[in-house]
Amino acid sequence: MVRKAEGDRGETAWVEVLDHLGEAVIVLDEQRTLRHVNHAARRLLGYEKDQKIGGRCKLTTRGVDCENACPLTFALEHDLDRVEDFATAYTAADGRSVSLSVTVIPFVGESGEFKGAVEILRPTEPRSGFFLSGTSTVSETLRERVSTLARAGGDVCLVGEPTVCLDVARALHRFSGLPEELFLVWEGSWSQINPWPAGTVYSYEEGADCTTELDRPEGWRIVRGSPESPGQSTFEILVLPAASELEEDLSRIIVSWIEELAPRATVAPGALETLVRVARDRGFSDLGGVLSTALAVAGEHVDESHLPVDGYRTAFIDELLQAPKPLAELEKRLLREVLERCDWRMQEAADRVGVSRVTLWRKMKDLGIEKNS
């Protein structure tokens, strides 16, 4: 690293180079103190052009992973020359959470001592999920409302079908700029949740009331799903539109849903028309079951032969009903298929089926799913 000195032309040169870069860059010294934050990084994090920025990096950026999963620490401990595309979130000057993909490049001396590091910050657009993927006025209004609630940071009650509430709850979490692993589904006790860093806890119906108990860790947000609007509530209430209100968006929503469940899968036009009718006539929860079954049977292309003929029966369902525990067998087949499509990358597979990595691991253990079995 170039040491700071008044009038040092060498330092002036590299500062000017960094400030002319289009990418956001932060330079740290051997004490992990910010030496320089270039113009792009200042804009990204909400600092004025000449505003003084100093102190240790974690006290300035206030990243959600600084304490427990610092990529720079990881690189140094494992003797890596860089860590690329680390998904995290930093806190901007005005308190906003900024979702980022960070590349960290440490510098070491000839004897291995740490000399400093460069961080390259690339903003990432949070995934909205399938339910917010529409382009109609209804969908755009809903997406803006979810974004506003995400920035506000308070507790939210989503009123709608379980499948839809879970998807929108994840969108709220992502729009808050928090990493995926800090979105948790309520399992009955706050004692099972690490108090820091704070994230989002989601629950539906009966489990939802339990999450308001007094020993909630500081900073954690609750998103509750409910089939009907509560009366008086301290939660911000958001009533989600029914399928009938999203008529012009149903095809786009279904295609987005399929892409989340199976990224390489496609759907035939005739099958898509049938799936739109299922959503319109029977709702999104039934549609979710039809999609899961169809993708388990079809592989990477869904056509009409993979869908229920009379709305209820398929050969695949008859086959499952012969198993001692049909629901467990269906879940086992679905999870194995998703794991294989993700090449057994656990976090990616967990994201595809909408559970945490820990929950996926537990389900694999309970269902006897092993990579070489």
Instruction: Looking at the structure, tell me whether residues 251 and 361 fall in a common domain.
Output: yes
Instruction: Looking at the structure, tell me whether residues 286 and 230 fall in a common domain.
Output: no
d(CA 89, CA 98): 5
Q: Indicate which CATH number applies to the domain containing 27.
A: 3.30.450.20
The whole-number pLDDT of residue 104 equals 93
The whole-number pLDDT of residue 7 equals 41
d(CA 74, CA 18): 25
Which residue is associated with the tokens 């029977």? 282
Strand locations in the chain (E): 24-28, 34-37, 83-91, 97-108, 114-123, 156-159, 183-185, 200-204, 221-226, 236-239, 266-267, 301-302
Consecutive 10-residue averages of pLDDT for the chain (373 residues): 40 80 89 89 82 78 77 86 85 79 90 89 84 94 92 90 94 84 85 83 70 74 89 86 93 92 88 90 88 82 78 56 82 85 85 86 89 66
Largest CA distance in the chain: 81
Strand locations in 261-366 (E): 266-267, 301-302
The whole-number pLDDT of residue 137 equals 94
Instruction: Looking at the structure, tell me whether residues 67 and 83 fall in a common domain.
Output: yes
End-to-end C-alpha distance for the chain, whole angstroms: 51
Residue 320 inside a domain? The answer is yes
At which of 123, 154, 171 does a domain end? 123
Contact (Cβ atoms closer than 8 angstroms) between residue 116 and residue 29: yes
Instruction: Looking at the structure, tell me whether residues 275 and 323 fall in a common domain.
Output: yes
Which structure tokens are listed for 127? 């995934």
Instruction: Looking at the structure, tell me whether residues 21 and 79 fall in a common domain.
Output: yes
The number of distinct structural domains making up the chain is: 3
At which of 241, 275, 293 does a domain end? 241
Instruction: Looking at the structure, tell me whether residues 337 and 256 fall in a common domain.
Output: yes
Residue 130 inside a domain? The answer is no
Structural domain of residue 116, as residue ranges?
9-123
d(CA 130, CA 354): 12
At which of 226, 241, 256 does a domain end? 241
The whole-number pLDDT of residue 132 equals 95
Contact (Cβ atoms closer than 8 angstroms) between residue 261 and residue 240: no
The pTM of this model reads 0.58
Residue 373's CB is within 10 A of a number of other CB atoms, namely 6
Residue 208's CB is within 10 A of a number of other CB atoms, namely 22
Residue 129 inside a domain? The answer is no
Contact (Cβ atoms closer than 8 angstroms) between residue 156 and residue 223: yes
